[in-house]
Amino acid sequence: MALRNTLTIALLGVLLLATSSNAETTEDSYTIDLYFYGQIDNQNGNITTFAPQSSNATSIECPQEGNRETWPQQQRQWQTVGTWEVDFLGPGIIYGGDYNLTLWAEAEEGSVDDVQFRVTFELDREGNAFDVVLAEGTSQTKTLSEEEDPKDFNIDLEFNSTENFIKGEEMSVTLEYSGGETGQNPVESLQNPEDAQIVVLTSSVDYPAGISSILMSTVSSDFPEIDIQESEQNVFVRVNTTSAFGNTDIDGALWTLGVIGDSSGDQGMTVKFGTKTSLDNNYEVTFYWYYNEEKAISDTYSFYLITTDIRGNQWKVVSEEDIHLVIHEFEVDNGITPGDIAINNQTGLATVKAGNSFTIDITVHVGGDPLIEFNPIQVSIMLVTGANEQIIYETMIFKAPISTIQTSFRYTFEKEGEYRIKVVIDKSNWVKESDETNNVAEFLLLVSEPKEEDFVQSIIENAKDSGAMTIFIALSVALIVMATLYFRKGEEIDFEWEDDDEF
C-alpha cells in the first residue's frame, strides 16, 4: 500500500493520513424537467430547471415567411425561430433515452393550416470545432386560429447516446417553424399579403414549454480542505458543491455531511454544520466532525455530502480522500529484531553477489490491546554510510495486535563491499507505543565480486528462490545434461559417406 502523507497528530493518539483532494461527481442520476425561458425571436433564450411561477406567458413570434409552402413545388419552408441554450457550470451526464418536448402555440392574427415545429438538441463541445447532435424531432401538425385557445405540440426525441459534459460546455435547442398553407404565385401574394402571425408561448404556469423527465447527473463536489483542529478535537471539512445548472438548482438550506468507515460502515455519525457561502456559481460549506463525541473507532474513513435540489432529489457525492483514524494511547507495540530480517530466506550474516537481485523479508511483531482494529505500521529500510542514512524502500502495512506481519522487497547492489542496512519501524513516530526502543534492527550484508559460475551451479542459484519443486526440476535437467556429456565424452564423429549414398 502506498505511503500516505501525514496531516497531523491530534490528541488521544489520533493519526490522520490522507490522499490529495480531487473533484468528485455524484453517482446518482434523476429525471429532470428542463424549462425554456426568454424571448428568442432570432435571439437566444435560456434553459433552466426552475419551473415557471408567473401566469404571464412569453410570446415568441414565428417568421411569417414560413406560413406557406413554396410555389410551385408546394414544399414546406422551414424558418428558424431561435435557440434556447444553457452554459453548464459544472460536469455531468446526459443519459440516452426516449423523451418528450412540449411547445404551446397560438395564432395571434389570422390562421394557418398544418402548423408544424421541429427542434434540434446539440451539445457544443468546448475547445472543439464540432457539435454533438443529441436528438432531432418534428411535431405533429395542427391548425391554429386566433379564435382558438393555444394548442400543445409534442415532439418525440430519442437520445441515442449517453454523453458526458464538463464545465463551460453548452447545450442548445434550436426551434424551427413551418405552416402548411398552399404556396402562392409571388405576384398574387403581393396582391393578397398574408397577415397571419403564429406565436410560441413559454415561461408560464399554464404553458411551461420544455422537455420533461430527462435523465441526468448534474451535481459535483470537491473537498479542498480536511484538517485537524487539535484544540477542539475535531476534523474540519470544507466542501465546494456545484450544479451544472447553477445555484438556483440547489436547495441552499439542506446540507448533510456524513462519515463512513471501511470496516465499520455507515454508523450514522453526524457532522455539525458550520457555514454556507454562495460563491461564483457554487456553494462553499464547512463542517466539523467531533470524532470523540461520536466515539469513532480506529478505521479508514471518508466523507460524503448529500445535496438536495429544488425538486427534492438528493445527490450524494463521496470523497475519494481516505482518512486513516487511529485512536489509542500507548496500547500498541510494533517491534522488530535482527532475527526478523532474512536475505534470500536466510537469517544472520548474509552474502550476495554484485549485480544479482536479492530478497529482503521483514517480519514485524505487533503487540498490545487486541481490541485495536486499525494499526498502521511504517516500515523504512535505509542504507547507512557513515553518518548518512538513505532510504532505499519504504511502505505502510496494517496489522492489529496480537500477530505478526511480513513485507518483502527485492534490491540489487552493483558493486562488491560491506553494506550496513537498517530497518526502522514507525520512523516518523506516528503511532504512540508502549515501547519505543524496539523499533530498529540492523544487519551487515556482504556483497561479493561477481564470478563466472559453472552450468549446474548457475541453474541451482537461479532456482533456489522459487521453491523445492523448481530446484528438483532444475537438478534433474542438470543431471540429464551431465550424463549425456559423459557418455559422449571422447566419441569421435564419423563423417565417412556410406557406399550407397548418391547425389
Q: Is residue 338 part of a domain?
A: yes
Which has more confidence, 199 or 324? 199
pLDDT digits over 256-275, tens only?
A: 999 998 877 888 888 999 99
Which has more confidence, 193 or 499? 193
The cell for 100 is: 418528450
| pLDDT given for residue 354 in this prediction | 93
pLDDT band at 188 (very low <50, low <70, confident <90, very high): low
Q: Is residue 503 part of a domain?
A: no
Where is the domain boundary, 216, 241, 267?
216
Q: How many C-beta atoms lie closer than 10 Å to residue 218's C-beta? A: 28
Task: Examine the domain organization and report whether 295 and 438 are in the same domain.
Answer: no
Task: Examine the domain organization and report whether 138 and 227 are in the same domain.
Answer: no
Number of domains present in the structure of the chain: 4
Q: How many C-beta atoms lie closer than 10 Å to residue 277's C-beta? A: 10
DSSP letters spanning 175-224? EEEE--BPP--HHHHHHS----EEEEEESSSS---EEEEEEEE-EEEEEE
Where is the domain boundary, 310, 327, 344?
327
Residue 203 belongs to what domain range? 30-216
258, β-bridge pairs: 270, 304
DSSP letters spanning 273-331? EEEEEE-SSSEEEEEEE-TTTTTPPSEEEEEEEEEEETTS-EEEEE----EEEEE-SS-
Lowest-pLDDT choice from 35-49, 176-190, 220-234, 476-490: 476-490
In the chain, % helix, strand, coil (3-state, to 5) comes to 10, 50, 40
Q: Is residue 501 part of a domain?
A: no
Q: Residue 464: what residue type?
A: K
216, β-bridge pairs: 30, 94
For residues 227 and 359, give the distance between their C-alpha atoms in angstroms, rounded to a whole number.
39
DSSP letters spanning 15-68? EEEEPPP-EEE-S--EEEEEEEES--TTSEEEEESSPP--SPPEEEEPPGGGSB
| pLDDT given for residue 485 in this prediction | 52
Residue 162, pLDDT > 70, answer yes
Task: Examine the domain organization and report whether 147 and 12 are in the same domain.
Answer: no
Task: Examine the domain organization and report whether 336 and 239 are in the same domain.
Answer: no
| pLDDT given for residue 93 in this prediction | 95
Q: Is residue 502 part of a domain?
A: no
Give the closest residue to 24 by CA, choosing from 303, 313, 312: 303
Q: Is residue 494 part of a domain?
A: no
Average pLDDT over residues 371-380: 85
Is 142:111 a contact under the CB 8 Å cutoff?
A: no
Task: Examine the domain organization and report whether 304 and 373 are in the same domain.
Answer: no
DSSP letters spanning 406-422? EEEEEE--SS-EEEEEE
Using CA atoms in the order 455, 457, 458, 459, what is the torsion angle rounded to 10 degrees? Answer: 90
Q: Is residue 281 part of a domain?
A: yes
Task: Examine the domain organization and report whether 161 and 54 are in the same domain.
Answer: yes
Task: Examine the domain organization and report whether 39 and 13 are in the same domain.
Answer: no
Task: Examine the domain organization and report whether 88 and 209 are in the same domain.
Answer: yes
Is 66:78 a contact under the CB 8 Å cutoff?
A: yes
CATH number at residue 290: 2.60.40
